Amino acid sequence: MDEKILTLHPERKRGVNISKAKYETMRRTILQVLGKGDLTHNELTSAVERSLKGKFEGSIPWFMECTKLDLEARKVIERVPGGKHDVYRVKK
């Protein structure tokens, strides 16, 4: 049986129960990608998809979104209002 994790949401909305293994894979990938610099939402999604293509079972954008919101809620990454688009970065 796959172990689950209940994700958090930065706006205190209800999180989702997802596979802990998939969460860990996403978390590592998001932090690795953001470790190289700030990215907009679209850039982050594309970078994560490129990184996990063919190695991840399920919808990469959906799992990335759940994990990204959880990391924001846990103050691991932050959303910074930008000009045209907000950017995400690893919190210092």
Higher pLDDT, 82 or 17: 17
> Is-contact 16 7, C-beta < 8 A?
yes
pLDDT per residue as tens digits for the range 24-60: 999 999 999 999 999 999 999 999 999 999 999 999 9
The whole-angstrom separation of Cα 89 and Cα 92 is 9
The mean pLDDT value for 3-20 works out to 95
> Is-contact 26 63, C-beta < 8 A?
yes
pLDDT for 1 beyond 80: no
pLDDT at 81: 92
- Which domains are seen in the chain, by residue range? 4-90 (1.10.10.10)
Mean pLDDT, all residues of the chain? 96
The mean pLDDT value for 5-20 works out to 95
